[in-house]
Amino acid sequence: MSAGENSADGDWDFVYRPHRMPRFAIAAAVVVLAIHITFGILLTISDTGPRNIGTADQAAIILIGILICGAILLLTRPRLRVGRAGIGVRNLVGERLFGWDDVVGLTYPERGFGAQLELPADEHIPVLAVQAGDGDRAVEAMNRYRELEERYGNVQRSR
């Protein structure tokens, strides 16, 4: 099984998830939540003037922290799946499936931090799963994609 593959991904020959970005996202979410909980608790320590801050205000600050953490944790979702059916790209929300006939290739631009799925008419779809920060893992993912493109892409296009 490849990096991050599970039984639900059984129809795919290759499933790749980023390595560093989810770790940073989880760490950032923990810090943000800790700050919001701390400020929520400390909010009632001193008198703030004419209006006292109550429990509802404390809960609101903590809930805002939870919402921000939820947004940050979306960075743990990116995934690239490659198989006979085509390419599945999940970035932050939702997954888009592309058949081999619809894809020109997967490139890694010189001035970018992540790969791009090339479509006809110079369209590009960012692939957040494959990032420069993952180093050799990202290179291996690109090589594996190219192997599968040779196997499936050429077969589908020749029909």
Question: What is the predicted pLDDT for the residue at 35?
Answer: 97
What count of residues does the chain have? 159
Q: What is the pLDDT of residue 112?
A: 77
Asked if 103 and 83 count as a contact pair (C-beta separation under 8 A), the reply is no
By the 8 A CB rule, do 75 and 21 touch? yes
Q: What is the pTM of this model?
A: 0.78
* Structure confidence at residue 132 (pLDDT): 84
Q: What is the pLDDT of residue 4?
A: 44
Nearest to 90 by CA among 144, 130, 45: 130
Q: What is the pLDDT of residue 90?
A: 95
How far lies 129's CA from each of 33, 74, 137, in Å?
25, 12, 11
Distance of CA 46 to the CA centre of its chain: 41
pLDDT, block means (10 residues), the chain with 159 residues: 47 91 96 95 70 82 96 96 93 92 87 87 91 89 92 63
Cβ atoms of 157 and 102 closer than 8 Å: no
